[in-house]
Chain A
Amino acid sequence: MSKRTGANATSPIVAKAVDLVKTYGDTDSQVTALNHVSVDFRRGELTAIMGPSGSGKSTLMHCMAGLDVPSSGQVFVEDLEVSSMNQKQLTQLRRKEIGFIFQSFNLVPTLTAEENILLPLQIAHRPVDREWFRKVVGVVGLENRLDHRPSQLSGGQQQRVACARALMERPSVIFADEPTGNLDSRSSREVLEFLRTSVRDYGQSIVMVTHDPRAASFADRVLVLADGSITQDMDHPTYDDILAVFAEHDDPDNGPVSVESADAKEA
């Protein structure tokens, strides 16, 4: 199935959710993680998704990437309906259209950094563009770490390898769920820089979940999710704009920082 028709390639929308609903549990103890969410993600942009813990950010990510099936509504990536795909089609989708970066455990422990980066291409039996590989590795700054195993890399380095891996296959869109969640601010900034560079210089589309307003300030666009609905849609907000939004909505107890530490424990 040919994915990118001429019209699509130039379409400004790379992925979209239409009236997305996701509920968990049975009728008497139902949790609505996504409540009729409709959103477009634009091509060539770094979109950040923010929101308090339990607001449905990860759920949205998973539904968008075809890792989870929505209760109702549709998900499109490059005009292909993800929400109705079978296993085979999903595999093809993951190989060609979608990259994914998790909060942790992104790398296969038995493979070196280089092998991890090239893994998606090899799985898909696609040729390796060496030029692109050097460029990506250069951007991530891992030139002399390529033959190290993940266990020999720091957390930040591991996440950068994961980013390089996602970028290597040049998917239509990369979804990243708290890619810097486990990192200190320095490593975190390295990774964010890298994501922004790849958007700015190479036209990559990225959707990223984050709790960190500073991380969000790297983005072209910031969406705020609360109780399964999008409450804010900000274009190129500054760090202060973002802080302002959160100051309005959240009491300090449920602030981003405490949520993050709770997350780390659970993981």
Chain B
Amino acid sequence: MFRIGLRDTKAHFRRFIMSIIAIALGVAFVVGSFCFREMLNDQVAQMMGSNSDADVYVRGATEEKQEPGGSVTSYNSTYTEISTSIIPDIENVDGVTSADATMQLGNAVLLDHNGDALTTVGAPTLVIGVDQDDPWRSAHFVSGEYPQTDDEIALLEDTADKAGLKTGDTAKLIVDGEAREMTVSGVFTSPSTQLGAILILARPSFVQHVLQEEGEDTSSIQFIGVYGSKTTPLDEEAQQQLADRINKALPKSADAHAVTGDSVRDDATKSIQDQLGFIQPLILIFAAIALFVGAFIIANTFTMIVRESMRGYALLRSVGASPAQVFASVLIQAVILGIVGSGIGVLLGWGLLEAIAKGMSSGGMPLSGSPAPSATDVIIGVIVGVVVTIIGATLPAKTAATAPPIQAMNETVNPEKPVKARGWIGIVMVALGAAFWVLCYLGAAKRVDWQWLKDLGSGWTLGLGAAFVVIGAIVCAPAFVAPAAKVLGWIPSKMFPVTGKLATRNIGRAKRRTANTAAALFIGVAIVSCLGVVASSMKTSVNNLVDNNVNADYVAMSASMTQPISTKAVDAIEDTKGVGASSAVYMLPTVKATNAEKDVMTAAIKTDLLTELAPVGQQDGDAAKAIDDGEAAVGRTIADDEHWKVGDVIDLESENTSVDEEATKQASEAYQKQAEAQAKTLQQEAQQLAASGDVSGAQSKAKEAENVVKQAQNVDPKQFVKMKTETKTEQVRIGAIIDDSLYADSIFISVPTAEKITSKDMMMVTQMYVQAEPGANVEQLGKDLKKTVKPFYTVSVLTRDEFKSSMSSMINSMLAIIYALLALSIVIAIFGIVNTLALNVSERTKEIGLLRAIGTSNGQVRGMLAIEAVILSVFGTIVGIVVGVAAGVVIRAAYESQGMTTLTIPWDQLVLFLIVAILVGLVASISPARRALKQPVLDAVASE
């Protein structure tokens, strides 16, 4: 049997090409998704290894409760902070070379040699506080050295290359809205490629100072990194021993605990990897589509082969082969096919990833290591491929083994199993899914107020609804094939009376096959239509908002995601000639509404915003007046969530960290006093020595004393900076509730009110709206504004249109990725259609021969098959569009309060999908038609 299977495989190889491609694509996706995850994990692990490379970490001993639902995603936020004052204690421990609280600035911008801000695709810009005394072991200098002064920085080689800077150059670093001239003291590499992050080393004192300016408390920290050696990492055991020694030395009051570097790295690596985990399932969806089509193509192909070889099988059986043996001879072909297909798939997946890695490198995100699949990946890929193939081939193999030969001859007459039951089951599922969606909609639109629905969350109702609708649609599709063919065939039947009619009737013959073929297209189109609706709704919502609600002529935004617009820039803009009404939006990250159930954002604004720049349409009370009166205006969404009404009182609280002038002065004075005392003692000693006749001893003592004085004079005052944390609270009455979606989800107060509880340093300006003075030249103002913000580098001034398109372009680039995936699923769907048509043609060989014998031209046969294919693909596409658009509508409704106020259905896109579907059908019909026409009429008519 094995030999027969092998020989048959050879004979059918051409037939198998399509199946192999489908399986290969599916397996490529599967393997690719695994490799991709591993590649990312490798990067993360490597980055952790080089960036968190301390031998021992000292962290808080008490675990902090994470706020449920809080957006605290950072991995190291689960322990209390510890004081930096314990660093000297740690440094005294035996075996410790250095102990540092490494601080970072995440919001700096480096300018390249042309003076343009250096941007990355997603990777951060970090200024890391390290120097000769507090080194970073993983940094290896290729030229120069650590920064020696606060005016020096060292750059990662990749960063230096991107910026066109080298050691000795002058670079501009923008920190806290100010451009500072820095000298590049050195260029270094690290074992990890840093994924395109821009890494800048600066002296710890510089970083600390900037952080303090920003109101950050630098006296406490999450981690203190400890090196046991400046050059070589300690092994696990040595790490543990060092940690134990440190723990012994740590005072109880410090509430700190030392752990090995490895354990911290492992935890952090794992948590980041978990965060990136969502990517793989996304890829696997498309793998599933490919494999589904693959299994289906294989089933079709084998049905065709088995049908054609029915006589052979009957003969085998009649000479004594058991059904099991016949079954095996078919299945062997499937196994060979599966192995070949998945082998190609593994290579394809690997190649794909190499290409992605190359693309990422050239896109400024170099990866280290090779994305080669591991042995497990290969095994998983091959198993998946073979299993799918076997599943596809089982049914045809069973037919071959058991069906009486006579049945095969009358296949065209054999009635299909009824599809009615399936239809009903599917309809029930779709209805169930729709019900979930309705619930989701009702919940989101606040039509009902059911606690359980809120607890369930819109994510669940959306997801369950989508799952039921999609699966239900696939289940019930066969029942709708015949009616759909009638409807869709109407136009072609009018245009081409005979071929149209024949094609329409043919579609209804193998309903399951037709429906399954269409399903592949259905899923892909559904996903894309849904995203299309969501994206275009997002775009129009933003545009409408800008068009209808925003009167500002210009919007100033920060070009870097992390850096706010500095207050200096705000002042400069306000002072620009021609500026009329203007208002910055000051986010108040430190301010919390303590009597709110959820986390609510608070922002400070000028009333210009409410009256001129983005006038409030509907409101309870008068928002502008309320804010002027020191009251708050609250967005409708929040008011509803928190059940607040006008007249209620909100408790605002802010924890402010600032430089404690008093303590700083004391510390500084204490130091000076100590130095003076020391100098005095030394001088006294010198005098004593002089008195006793030891002149040289007296001189050296006197010099020592002089040095102490000098040192005390030269000491960096920053060293003594002490921080303090104050909590200020303020009760603010709600003066107005604003309905406009622009204001929906924040509490608004005036800047003076905000200053009662927090300082201007702690406010973050993310956007600023500007209107021209009445009578001023708007265009001229734009030019002037651009000039004004030039020295701030990271602030950009956008016109209304630019503002709108800045939002759209973000959405568009997201869509591009999805479209790329769609293109792939279309390719796979084409395979499915080609294959189904090929099977249809093979089943109808005789019929097509007959048609030709009575005068059907080749063109008419081609036309008939083309119409069949087009009906099929349009059927899948339309169901996909309907389901996708419905899902989009529900998602839009669910996120209405988040600003998706306007539903827009991208008709042009949907029409485009339909046109593509028609083209897909036409293309798919070419090869089956060629096969149908290749057969001489006589052979076709005479064939069994």
Contacts and interface: CB of A to CB of B under 8 A. Distances in A.
B516 to A, nearest CB: 20
Which range holds the interface residue count of chain B?
Answer: 20 to 34
Closest CB pairs A-B (n = 6): A110-B505, A95-B855, A94-B855, A122-B498, A67-B938, A91-B857
A115 B413 contact: no
Given A108-B502, A122-B498, A91 B856 contact: yes
Interface stretch (A99-107, A203-211, A256-264): A99-107
Interface in B839-856: 846-847, 850-856
A111 B505 contact: yes
A174 to B, nearest CB: 11
A186 to B, nearest CB: 23
Contacts of A155: none
Contacts of B498: 119, 122-123
A253 to B, nearest CB: 25
Nearest to B504: A110
Contacts of A119: 498, 851, 854
Contact of A108 (B851, B937, B941): B851
Which range holds the interface residue count of chain A?
Answer: 20 to 34
Contacts of B846: 105
B123 to A, nearest CB: 61
A94 B509 CA distance: 28
Contact of B941 (A94, A95, A102, A107): A102
A107 B501 CA distance: 15
B788 interface: no
A16 interface: no
Given A110-B505, A110-B506, A111-B502, A100 B413 contact: no
A108 B847 CA distance: 6
B858 interface: yes
A125 B860 CA distance: 11
Contact of A94 (B413, B506, B854, B938): B854
Contacts of B413: 109, 151
Contacts of B850: 102, 105-108
Interface of B: 412-413, 497-498, 501-502, 505-506, 509, 846-847, 850-858, 860, 937-938, 941
A237 interface: no
A99 B857 CA distance: 15
A109 B412 contact: yes
Contact of B853 (A87, A94, A124, A151): A94
B853 A110 contact: no
- Interface centre among A92, A107, A151, A169, by most B CB within 10 Å? A151
Contacts of B501: 111, 115
A88 interface: yes
Interface in A48-103: 62, 65, 67-68, 87-88, 91-92, 94-95, 99-100, 102
Contacts of B505: 110-111
A87 B858 contact: yes
Nearest to A65: B853
A60 to B, nearest CB: 13
B855 A110 contact: no
A123 B847 contact: no
Contacts of A170: none
13 contacts: A67-B853, A67-B937, A91-B856, A91-B857, A95-B855, A102-B853, A102-B941, A110-B506, A110-B509, A111-B502, A119-B498, A123-B855, A123-B860
A68 B847 contact: no
Contacts of A100: 853-854
Contacts of A108: 502, 847, 850-851
B502 to A, nearest CB: 7
A169 B856 CA distance: 14
B377 to A, nearest CB: 48
A160 interface: no
A110 B502 contact: yes
A141 interface: no
Contacts of B853: 65, 67, 94, 100, 102
Contacts of A165: 854
Contacts of B855: 91-92, 94-95, 120, 123-124, 169
Contacts of B497: 122
Contacts of B860: 123
B854 A109 contact: no
A119 B858 CA distance: 16
A165 B850 CA distance: 12
Given A67-B938, A110-B502, A91 B851 contact: no
Nearest to A93: B855
Contact of A120 (B412, B506, B509, B854): B854
A88 B933 CA distance: 13
Contacts of B509: 110
A98 B852 CA distance: 12
Contacts of A102: 850, 853, 941
B941 A109 contact: no
A262 B856 CA distance: 32
Given A65-B853, A111-B505, A119-B498, 18 more contacts: A67-B938, A67-B941, A68-B938, A91-B852, A91-B855, A94-B852, A102-B850, A105-B850, A108-B847, A108-B850, A109-B413, A111-B501, A115-B501, A120-B854, A123-B855, A123-B856, A123-B860, A124-B855
A91 B502 contact: no
A100 B852 CA distance: 11
Nearest to B940: A67
A120 to B, nearest CB: 5
A195 B751 CA distance: 103
A67 B852 CA distance: 10
B929 to A, nearest CB: 14
Contacts of A105: 846-847, 850, 941
Contacts of A67: 853, 937-938, 941
A105 to B, nearest CB: 6
A165 B858 CA distance: 21
B718 to A, nearest CB: 89
A165 B509 CA distance: 23
A91 to B, nearest CB: 5
A58 to B, nearest CB: 9
Contacts of B847: 105, 108-109
Contacts of A99: 854
Interface in A18-71: 62, 65, 67-68
- Interface centre among A67, A92, A115, by most B CB within 10 Å? A67
A169 B941 CA distance: 20
A106 B853 CA distance: 10
A108 B846 CA distance: 10
A92 B856 CA distance: 9
Contacts of A120: 854-855
A126 B67 CA distance: 80
Nearest to A115: B501
A23 to B, nearest CB: 16
Contact of A91 (B858, B938, B941): B858
Nearest to B851: A108
A94 B937 CA distance: 12
Nearest to B409: A267
Contacts of B851: 108, 119, 123
Nearest to B938: A67
B482 to A, nearest CB: 11
A93 B644 CA distance: 87
B908 to A, nearest CB: 37
A109 B506 CA distance: 9
- Interface centre among B846, B854, B856, by most A CB within 10 Å? B854
A33 to B, nearest CB: 13
A151 B938 CA distance: 23
Contacts of B412: 109
A112 to B, nearest CB: 10
Nearest to A91: B857
Contacts of B856: 91, 123
Contacts of A151: 413
A123 B854 contact: yes
B508 to A, nearest CB: 8
